Amino acid sequence: MDLAVPPPDGACHFLRLPGELRSSIHKYAFRTPGGAVCRVTKDSTTCKDLFRFLAVEVAAPKFTNRQLRDESKTLALLHNELVFKGGVNDVTRFLRAIPGSLVSLLRPITVIESKCRGHWVFEDLAAVCRKNLKAFVRMRYSWLDPSNNNFFWRATKLAIILRKDESIVQRICSVPSMHSPVLSLILKDSRYRSLSGIEAYPPNLRLYPLAEYLDAAAFRRLVREYDFMLIRVRQMPGGIDAAIAWAKELHERGI
Protein backbone atom coordinates (compact mmCIF):
# COMPACT_ATOMS: atom_id res chain seq x y z
CA MET A 1 0.00 0.00 0.00
CA ASP A 2 1.44 3.33 -1.08
CA LEU A 3 0.63 5.82 1.69
CA ALA A 4 1.28 8.69 -0.71
CA VAL A 5 -1.71 7.63 -2.84
CA PRO A 6 -5.19 8.33 -1.40
CA PRO A 7 -7.30 5.15 -1.12
CA PRO A 8 -10.16 4.78 -3.63
CA ASP A 9 -12.83 4.94 -0.94
CA GLY A 10 -11.42 8.20 0.43
CA ALA A 11 -10.75 6.77 3.90
CA CYS A 12 -7.67 7.86 5.85
CA HIS A 13 -4.85 5.29 5.78
CA PHE A 14 -4.17 5.99 9.44
CA LEU A 15 -7.69 5.00 10.44
CA ARG A 16 -7.19 1.56 8.90
CA LEU A 17 -4.52 0.80 11.50
CA PRO A 18 -5.49 -1.26 14.58
CA GLY A 19 -6.63 0.82 17.55
CA GLU A 20 -3.66 -0.19 19.72
CA LEU A 21 -1.19 0.91 17.06
CA ARG A 22 -3.01 4.22 16.59
CA SER A 23 -2.87 4.76 20.36
CA SER A 24 0.89 4.17 20.37
CA ILE A 25 1.35 6.67 17.55
CA HIS A 26 -0.85 9.21 19.32
CA LYS A 27 1.22 8.78 22.48
CA TYR A 28 4.38 9.59 20.52
CA ALA A 29 2.81 12.48 18.58
CA PHE A 30 1.31 14.22 21.59
CA ARG A 31 4.14 13.83 24.07
CA THR A 32 6.18 17.00 24.52
CA PRO A 33 9.71 16.78 26.01
CA GLY A 34 9.80 18.68 29.28
CA GLY A 35 6.03 18.71 29.57
CA ALA A 36 3.30 20.87 28.08
CA VAL A 37 3.67 24.39 29.43
CA CYS A 38 0.46 26.21 30.21
CA ARG A 39 -0.01 29.58 28.53
CA VAL A 40 -2.79 31.52 30.21
CA THR A 41 -4.85 33.98 28.20
CA LYS A 42 -6.15 36.11 31.03
CA ASP A 43 -8.63 38.14 29.00
CA SER A 44 -10.42 35.06 27.68
CA THR A 45 -13.70 33.89 29.12
CA THR A 46 -14.06 30.38 27.73
CA CYS A 47 -12.31 27.21 28.81
CA LYS A 48 -11.06 26.69 25.25
CA ASP A 49 -9.26 30.03 25.12
CA LEU A 50 -8.41 30.48 28.78
CA PHE A 51 -5.74 27.81 28.85
CA ARG A 52 -3.55 26.72 25.98
CA PHE A 53 -0.58 24.41 26.11
CA LEU A 54 2.42 25.18 23.95
CA ALA A 55 3.36 22.64 21.25
CA VAL A 56 0.55 20.15 21.88
CA GLU A 57 -2.06 22.67 20.77
CA VAL A 58 -0.74 22.49 17.20
CA ALA A 59 -0.24 18.72 16.98
CA ALA A 60 -1.04 17.64 13.41
CA PRO A 61 -3.55 14.82 14.20
CA LYS A 62 -5.96 17.42 15.58
CA PHE A 63 -6.33 18.98 12.14
CA THR A 64 -6.35 15.96 9.81
CA ASN A 65 -10.03 15.07 9.88
CA ARG A 66 -12.98 15.05 12.26
CA GLN A 67 -12.56 11.45 13.42
CA LEU A 68 -8.89 11.95 14.24
CA ARG A 69 -9.69 15.21 15.99
CA ASP A 70 -12.35 13.52 18.12
CA GLU A 71 -10.09 10.54 18.78
CA SER A 72 -7.15 12.67 19.88
CA LYS A 73 -8.69 15.75 21.49
CA THR A 74 -8.05 14.64 25.09
CA LEU A 75 -4.76 12.85 24.54
CA ALA A 76 -2.61 15.88 25.26
CA LEU A 77 -3.87 15.73 28.84
CA LEU A 78 -3.33 12.00 29.08
CA HIS A 79 0.18 11.79 27.65
CA ASN A 80 1.84 14.97 28.91
CA GLU A 81 3.07 16.45 32.11
CA LEU A 82 1.22 19.75 32.45
CA VAL A 83 3.46 22.56 33.69
CA PHE A 84 1.98 25.66 35.34
CA LYS A 85 4.64 28.34 35.73
CA GLY A 86 2.13 30.86 37.07
CA GLY A 87 1.71 29.01 40.34
CA VAL A 88 -1.22 27.54 42.19
CA ASN A 89 -3.62 30.28 41.07
CA ASP A 90 -3.29 29.23 37.42
CA VAL A 91 -3.73 25.54 38.07
CA THR A 92 -6.73 26.21 40.33
CA ARG A 93 -8.39 28.29 37.61
CA PHE A 94 -7.62 25.55 35.10
CA LEU A 95 -9.17 22.85 37.28
CA ARG A 96 -12.30 24.93 37.74
CA ALA A 97 -12.56 25.68 34.02
CA ILE A 98 -12.24 22.22 32.47
CA PRO A 99 -15.13 19.73 32.42
CA GLY A 100 -15.13 17.20 35.24
CA SER A 101 -14.74 14.38 32.71
CA LEU A 102 -11.29 15.70 31.80
CA VAL A 103 -10.06 15.90 35.39
CA SER A 104 -9.88 12.10 35.48
CA LEU A 105 -7.45 12.17 32.52
CA LEU A 106 -4.86 14.30 34.30
CA ARG A 107 -1.60 12.54 35.04
CA PRO A 108 1.62 14.37 36.05
CA ILE A 109 1.27 18.06 36.90
CA THR A 110 4.08 20.39 37.95
CA VAL A 111 3.24 23.69 39.62
CA ILE A 112 5.98 26.31 40.00
CA GLU A 113 4.99 28.43 43.00
CA SER A 114 7.37 31.32 43.53
CA LYS A 115 5.27 33.05 46.19
CA CYS A 116 4.76 32.10 49.80
CA ARG A 117 1.19 30.85 50.13
CA GLY A 118 -1.06 29.86 52.97
CA HIS A 119 -1.27 26.10 52.75
CA TRP A 120 -5.06 26.17 52.43
CA VAL A 121 -4.67 27.35 48.82
CA PHE A 122 -3.43 23.85 47.95
CA GLU A 123 -6.70 22.25 49.02
CA ASP A 124 -8.14 22.23 45.47
CA LEU A 125 -5.11 20.27 44.31
CA ALA A 126 -5.42 17.91 47.24
CA ALA A 127 -9.10 17.32 46.40
CA VAL A 128 -8.24 16.47 42.78
CA CYS A 129 -5.52 14.05 43.89
CA ARG A 130 -7.91 12.30 46.29
CA LYS A 131 -10.46 11.80 43.50
CA ASN A 132 -7.97 10.90 40.77
CA LEU A 133 -5.33 8.58 42.19
CA LYS A 134 -3.63 8.33 38.79
CA ALA A 135 -2.77 12.03 38.89
CA PHE A 136 0.48 13.16 40.45
CA VAL A 137 0.98 16.80 41.41
CA ARG A 138 4.51 18.03 42.02
CA MET A 139 4.48 21.42 43.75
CA ARG A 140 7.82 23.24 43.49
CA TYR A 141 7.55 25.72 46.32
CA SER A 142 9.88 28.67 46.93
CA TRP A 143 9.10 28.56 50.67
CA LEU A 144 11.24 25.39 50.81
CA ASP A 145 14.52 27.17 50.13
CA PRO A 146 17.70 25.28 51.19
CA SER A 147 19.57 28.58 51.54
CA ASN A 148 17.08 29.78 54.15
CA ASN A 149 17.99 29.19 57.78
CA ASN A 150 14.46 27.86 58.36
CA PHE A 151 14.76 25.15 55.68
CA PHE A 152 14.66 22.04 57.88
CA TRP A 153 12.27 23.66 60.34
CA ARG A 154 9.83 24.43 57.52
CA ALA A 155 10.18 20.92 56.10
CA THR A 156 9.44 19.50 59.54
CA LYS A 157 6.37 21.69 59.99
CA LEU A 158 5.03 20.79 56.54
CA ALA A 159 5.48 17.08 57.25
CA ILE A 160 3.59 17.39 60.53
CA ILE A 161 0.84 19.68 59.23
CA LEU A 162 0.23 18.14 55.80
CA ARG A 163 1.34 14.54 56.34
CA LYS A 164 0.47 14.21 60.04
CA ASP A 165 3.94 12.68 60.40
CA GLU A 166 5.15 13.48 63.91
CA SER A 167 8.00 10.96 63.71
CA ILE A 168 9.94 13.43 61.56
CA VAL A 169 10.97 15.25 64.75
CA GLN A 170 13.51 12.46 65.25
CA ARG A 171 15.37 13.66 62.14
CA ILE A 172 16.04 17.13 63.52
CA CYS A 173 16.65 16.34 67.17
CA SER A 174 19.17 13.77 68.40
CA VAL A 175 18.13 14.04 72.05
CA PRO A 176 15.05 11.84 72.69
CA SER A 177 14.01 13.88 75.71
CA MET A 178 13.68 16.92 73.43
CA HIS A 179 11.31 15.31 70.92
CA SER A 180 8.17 16.16 72.87
CA PRO A 181 9.13 19.81 73.55
CA VAL A 182 9.99 20.37 69.88
CA LEU A 183 6.73 18.79 68.78
CA SER A 184 4.79 20.86 71.30
CA LEU A 185 6.42 24.02 69.95
CA ILE A 186 5.17 23.20 66.45
CA LEU A 187 1.69 22.20 67.62
CA LYS A 188 1.32 25.52 69.44
CA ASP A 189 2.18 27.48 66.29
CA SER A 190 -0.80 29.58 65.16
CA ARG A 191 -0.44 28.34 61.58
CA TYR A 192 -0.63 24.75 62.74
CA ARG A 193 -3.70 25.42 64.86
CA SER A 194 -5.47 26.96 61.87
CA LEU A 195 -4.67 23.91 59.72
CA SER A 196 -4.76 21.10 62.24
CA GLY A 197 -8.25 20.08 61.15
CA ILE A 198 -7.39 19.47 57.50
CA GLU A 199 -7.18 15.95 56.20
CA ALA A 200 -3.69 14.60 55.55
CA TYR A 201 -2.60 15.32 51.99
CA PRO A 202 -2.80 12.33 49.63
CA PRO A 203 0.50 10.69 48.62
CA ASN A 204 0.11 11.81 44.99
CA LEU A 205 0.46 15.47 45.98
CA ARG A 206 3.99 16.31 47.06
CA LEU A 207 5.85 19.54 47.84
CA TYR A 208 9.43 20.10 46.67
CA PRO A 209 11.98 22.93 46.81
CA LEU A 210 11.84 25.27 43.82
CA ALA A 211 15.11 23.99 42.33
CA GLU A 212 14.95 20.52 40.83
CA TYR A 213 18.32 19.47 42.24
CA LEU A 214 20.26 20.35 45.37
CA ASP A 215 23.65 21.98 44.91
CA ALA A 216 25.18 19.68 47.52
CA ALA A 217 28.63 21.28 47.41
CA ALA A 218 27.27 24.78 48.00
CA PHE A 219 24.94 23.50 50.71
CA ARG A 220 27.77 21.69 52.50
CA ARG A 221 29.93 24.81 52.28
CA LEU A 222 27.22 26.98 53.83
CA VAL A 223 26.67 24.54 56.67
CA ARG A 224 30.37 24.08 57.39
CA GLU A 225 31.23 27.77 57.31
CA TYR A 226 28.20 29.20 59.03
CA ASP A 227 25.96 26.37 60.29
CA PHE A 228 23.37 28.95 59.39
CA MET A 229 20.32 26.79 60.01
CA LEU A 230 17.83 27.70 62.70
CA ILE A 231 18.03 24.02 63.59
CA ARG A 232 21.73 23.45 64.30
CA VAL A 233 22.85 20.96 61.67
CA ARG A 234 25.79 19.74 63.75
CA GLN A 235 23.34 18.76 66.47
CA MET A 236 21.08 16.80 64.13
CA PRO A 237 21.34 12.99 64.18
CA GLY A 238 24.16 12.11 61.78
CA GLY A 239 25.44 15.67 61.55
CA ILE A 240 26.24 17.40 58.28
CA ASP A 241 26.24 14.27 56.10
CA ALA A 242 22.79 13.25 57.31
CA ALA A 243 21.51 16.80 56.79
CA ILE A 244 22.76 16.85 53.19
CA ALA A 245 21.22 13.42 52.55
CA TRP A 246 17.89 14.69 53.88
CA ALA A 247 18.10 17.87 51.77
CA LYS A 248 18.73 15.72 48.66
CA GLU A 249 15.79 13.52 49.61
CA LEU A 250 13.52 16.56 49.87
CA HIS A 251 14.56 17.61 46.35
CA GLU A 252 14.07 14.11 44.90
CA ARG A 253 11.02 12.82 46.78
CA GLY A 254 9.43 15.91 48.26
CA ILE A 255 7.24 16.02 51.34
Report which listed range, 40-54, 117-131, 160-174, 240-254, is most confident. Answer: 240-254
Cα distances from 120 to residues 84, 211, 227, in angstroms, run 18, 23, 32
Which are the contacts of 67, defined by CB distance < 8 A and separation ≥ 6?
12, 15
DSSP codes of every residue in 27-54: HHHH--TT-EEEEE-TT--SHHHHEEET
142 three-state secondary structure: coil
Return the pLDDT at 2: 57
List, for residues 138-171, the tens digit of each pLDDT value: 999 998 998 887 888 888 888 888 888 888 888 8
List, for residues 63-95, the tens digit of each pLDDT value: 666 777 776 667 767 777 888 988 888 888 888
Angle separating helix axes 88-97 and 123-131, nearest 10 degrees: 50
Is the separation of the CB atoms in 6 and 48 below 8 Å? no
Is the separation of the CB atoms in 207 and 254 below 8 Å? yes
Tell me the mean pLDDT in the region 130-144: 92
Cα distances from 160 to residues 140, 154, 187, 188, 236, in angstroms, run 19, 10, 9, 12, 18
